[in-house]
Amino acid sequence: MVYFVRHALPGELVEITDVEYQKSFAFAEVAHVVEPHPGRIEPRCPVAVPKGCGGCALQHATDELQLALKSDIVKETFRRFAKYDREILVQRVEPRWHWRTRMQYHVDDEGRVGMRQWRGHDVIPLPPAGCAIAAPSAQPEAQPQGPRSVSAVGRQWQIPQGGFWQVHPQAPEILTSAVMDMLAPQTGEIAWDLYCGVGLFAGPLSDAGCDVYGTDGNKLAITSARRNVPSGHFEAGRIDLVAGRWPDPDVVVCDPPRSGLDRSIVKLLCARKPRAIAYVSCHPASLAGKVGRFEEAGYELVEVLAYDLFPQTPHVECVAHLRLR
């Protein structure tokens, strides 16, 4: 049986507790580290421990080890699911602490603000210093209400309350730069921005001279996208149905939820045959699984870039470049 042991590191000898058995695997927590990894350190946050907050699962690893572990995971994921057997190094991104610009807090029965326990419903109260990865603007006492304005990628962005925006302050610049390099858009080309949100990728594509079409299921986001990128064509609705009415694209960028692109959207893109696709995802396994479907339709995976936009957590952001053969 395979055990997924939270707060353990590869190669360590540990004693485990709180074993939760499933059909073919089990979850467990570290009770005691017998033989520690050389890269193990003391977590900065006092609640980033077994039975603690579910947010930061890698605070007990050095930055170098975090990057190495994530690189190994991404590389193995693409090797297994996309037959892409090349080195993929997760790139370090600063800041490593107090970076998260959006948080969701909970309140316990005693009125204390905190985070949900890992694989549980109990609220773990925040330490006196607050959350170690939350930006100052995202601490409980500073949580803004209503729409907000953000400056990034040479533009001012209006974001509705509850609207999606990348949580790491460096993410907009990093991801748009990667997408634009991959797509190499030309003046007069038609560009699709699927799951466009408030228009983060549509803006640079429009600035490059493309005729941009964007869609998202969130109506408030589309309203903001129209304000943020007045030259674009934006419509809210089901992604495949809306995009199905558009002219054939030359280039496409998509940034879907963790579950990835629906089969109907993959089918639509393969039928329309854009020359290049930039696929942004915070779930490497979901992304790698979809790559195979594109390859069956005549696309090749040119490269995968990975960025540590979620320091101290197991998550990683990837951008895949697909090119029509």
**Active-site residue flag, 282:** yes
Q: 213 among the known binding-site residues?
A: no
Domains of the chain by residue range: 1-40, 65-96+144-324
Give the model confidence (pLDDT) of 44-101 as tens digits: 999 988 778 878 889 999 999 999 999 999 999 999 999 999 999 999 999 999 999 9
Give the model confidence (pLDDT) of 223-279 as tens digits: 999 999 999 999 999 999 999 999 999 999 999 999 999 999 999 999 999 999 999
Q: How confident is the model at residue 142 (pLDDT cuts 50, 70, 90)?
A: confident
The residue annotated as part of the active site, out of 45, 254, 282, 318, is 282
What is the amino acid identity at position 234? Answer: F
CA distance 90 to 73: 10
Q: 166 among the known binding-site residues?
A: yes
Q: Give the rounded percent of residues in the chain with a pLDDT score beyond 90.
A: 88
Q: Which string of b and e fits 280-299 if b means at least 16 CB within 10 Å?
A: bbbbbbbbbbbbeebbeeeb
Task: Provide the whole-model pTM.
Answer: 0.94
User: Of 3.40.50.1370, 3.30.160.270, 3.40.50.720, 3.40.50.150, which CATH number belongs to 65-96+144-324?
Assistant: 3.40.50.150
Helices (H), the chain: 63-82, 171-183, 202-207, 219-228, 239-243, 263-272, 284-296
Q: 85 among the known binding-site residues?
A: no
Of 179, 238, 241, 240, nearest to 210 by C-alpha is 179
What is the amino acid identity at position 137? Answer: S
Q: 240 among the known binding-site residues?
A: no
Residue 143, pLDDT above cutoff 90: no
